[in-house]
């Protein structure tokens, strides 16, 4: 039997699409992905999601969205989609290389993943001092000196959070101006445990079994500096999770899904919402908003199928 709507991903976009399509009696199936609840499950307090005067913890927000979707009858399936076939209709999705799921419409909400620096020691020492998630790993660095790489909101947020545990946090940024919003910049700059190293890139991460430091190069002067630290948190942006759709859906040069006239992708009946198609706003609330749009677009597409 073919599902009316299958949603790939369970972040704010996927869960909002689930709430709307479930309320429209379309019995959506949500294939959750390896990180159920998406990126917000790795953050602490979300202060800018409307409706929560004093903020809400990321995992709590995602949990509430999921329960809301379940209340209206959304079904959840654990696991990752390993392959899709959008060349036939109903569409076909293979979950965890074994189970086949058929769908009349698909809403893609697979989000984005943290970008890595691409150093071989970064890969080798991941989980041994190298991390992309302060909320997951910060606790292990009580009383240590840490380095955060990046100049955006994520880097500021990670650094501020890490000061709860660390003795000091050094933010290493490749330019002399931050990309982060003013409010996050101010908070980081006011924090006595945080210092900045400007115009600097990480050339190598040092350490045998665990991280012992980083080697930095100043891109203006060319000078090299070794900074001892017990952990390196990489916060240099995100890449859309679209490998699965290569060759089947139109993407821009950075791999974001192209959407047309709302949330439609290049294949009729396949819609995209959230960070997987948004390189500009990338907020929980915009992801949720586009999840709602995708649900409405999917519902209208199903109506046109009925009339054919």
Point out the residues that are catalytic: 133, 136-137
CB of 284 to ligand NAP, least distance (A): 9
**Token couple for 106:** 């698909």
| Position among 32, 122, 137, 153 found at the interface with ligand NAP (CB under 6 A) | 153
**Residue 124 sits in the site that holds ligand NAP (CB under 6 A):** no
CB of 29 to ligand NAP, least distance (A): 28
**Residue 236 sits in the site that holds ligand NAP (CB under 6 A):** yes
**Token couple for 203:** 């050339």
Bridge partners (DSSP) listed for residue 131: 233
Angstrom distance (rounded) from CA 21 to CA 69: 9
**Residue 90 sits in the site that holds ligand NAP (CB under 6 A):** no
- For residue 82, the SS3 value is strand
Q: Which residues contact 70 (CB under 8 A, 6 or more apart)?
A: 76
| Position among 4, 129, 141, 238 found at the interface with ligand NAP (CB under 6 A) | 238
Of all residues in the shown chain, the one whose CB is closest to ligand NAP is: 152
Nearer to ligand NAP, 14 or 150 (CB): 150
- For residue 196, the SS3 value is strand
Choices 3-11, 96-104, 232-240, 266-274 (CB under 6 A): range interacting with ligand NAP? 232-240
Sign of the CA dihedral with 62 first, then 63, 65, and 66 last: positive
Choices 135-143, 172-180, 190-198, 297-305 (CB under 6 A): range interacting with ligand NAP? 172-180
Angstrom distance (rounded) from CA 110 to CA 41: 14
**Residue 278 sits in the site that holds ligand NAP (CB under 6 A):** no
Angstrom distance (rounded) from CA 113 to CA 77: 21
Residues engaged in binding ligand NAP (CB under 6 A): 48, 117, 149-155, 157, 174-175, 179, 181, 201, 235-238, 282
């Amino acid at each position: 039997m073919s599902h009316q709507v299958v949603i790939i991903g369970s972040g704010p976009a996927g869960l909002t699409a689930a709430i709307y399509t479930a309320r429209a009696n379309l019995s959506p199936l949500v294939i959750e992905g390896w990180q159920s609840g998406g990126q917000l499950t790795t953050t602490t307090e979300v202060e800018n999601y409307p409706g929560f005067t004093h903020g809400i913890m990321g995992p709590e927000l995602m949990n509430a969205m999921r329960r809301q979707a379940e209340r209206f009858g959304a079904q959840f399936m654990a696991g990752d989609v390993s392959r899709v076939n959008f060349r036939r209709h109903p569409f076909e999705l293979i979950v965890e290389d074994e189970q086949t799921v058929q769908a009349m419409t698909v809403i893609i909400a697979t989000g984005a993943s943290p970008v890595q620096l691409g150093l071989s020691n970064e890969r080798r020492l991941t989980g041994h001092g190298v991390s992309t998630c302060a909320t997951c790993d910060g606790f292990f660095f009580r009383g240590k000196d840490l380095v955060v790489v990046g100049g955006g909101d994520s880097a500021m947020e990670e650094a501020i959070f890490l000061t709860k545990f660390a003795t000091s946090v050094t933010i290493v940024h490749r330019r002399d101006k931050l990309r982060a919003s003013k409010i996050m910049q101010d908070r980081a700059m006011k924090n006595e445990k945080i210092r900045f190293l400007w115009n600097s890139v990480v050339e190598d991460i040092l350490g045998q079994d665990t991280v012992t430091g980083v080697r930095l190069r100043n891109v203006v002067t060319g000078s090299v500096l070794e900074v001892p630290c017990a952990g390196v948190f990489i916060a240099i942006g995100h890449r859309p999770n679209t490998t699965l759709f290569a060759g089947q859906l139109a993407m821009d040069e950075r791999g974001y899904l192209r959407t047309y006239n709302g949330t439609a992708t290049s294949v009729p009946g396949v819609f995209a919402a959230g960070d997987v198609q948004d390189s500009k706003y990338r907020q929980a609330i915009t992801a949720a908003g586009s999840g709602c749009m995708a649900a409405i677009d999917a519902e209208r597409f199903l109506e046109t199928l009925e009339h054919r």
